Amino acid sequence: MKLALATDHAGFEALAELKKYLESTGYECVDFGPISFTPDDDYPEFMFAAAKAVASGECRMGIILGGSGTGEAMAANRIKGARCALYYGPSKPVEPVDSEGNQSDDPYEILKLSRQHNNANVLSLGARFLNFDEIKQAVDIWLHTDFSGIERHERRIKQLDD
């Protein structure tokens, strides 16, 4: 699977490490930048490029990092056809229910829901909120969770993409 990658300065080192990890597990990675650490970089250009690669089909999914991940997710979501989810770290739902309405206290349920219900094709990670092991775990869970294909979710995604 071909993945689009991008970051801002806050996630620069983590993305380099993540790219090595992903390639070692068989993924093809396209790095949309930046190519060097620049503390005052303008991250939107990198996020736009990664999101466009996903929306066009050049890459199947994208993973982007930023200090909080918020601005990066906002940038990616400006690209038609990109559906970017934001993840800060493990958390438990107030009412422990999984995507099918069953009892669950899985702290990674939100990652799964972003794929199962929203068919998120870009994941934005808050690099200042996650250590590298947490980044790997989040990415692994997200990449290995499939979209449910349930009609109501298909209908809603079509509304987002249109």
| pLDDT confidence of residue 161 | 85
What span, in angstroms and rounded, lies between the C-alpha atoms of 31 and 64?
Answer: 10
Q: What is the DSSP letter of 106?
A: -
Contacts of residues 17-20 at CB distance under 8 Å and 24 or more positions apart, as own/partner, are 17/132, 18/63, 18/65, 18/132, 18/135, 18/136, 18/139
Q: Which domain holds residue 157?
A: 2-161
CATH number at residue 95: 3.40.1400.10
| pLDDT confidence of residue 10 | 93
User: What is 129-148 written as a DSSP string?
Assistant: T--HHHHHHHHHHHHT----
| pLDDT confidence of residue 162 | 84
Tens place of pLDDT for every residue, the chain, 162 residues? Answer: 999 999 999 999 999 999 999 999 999 999 998 888 888 888 999 999 999 999 999 999 999 999 999 999 999 999 999 999 999 888 877 765 655 666 677 888 889 999 999 999 999 999 999 999 999 999 999 999 999 898 999 999 999 888
- Counting the structural domains of the chain, the total is 1
Any idea which residues carry the catalytic annotation?
72, 117
What span, in angstroms and rounded, lies between the C-alpha atoms of 97 and 105?
Answer: 7
| pLDDT confidence of residue 38 | 85
| pLDDT confidence of residue 102 | 65
| pLDDT confidence of residue 97 | 63
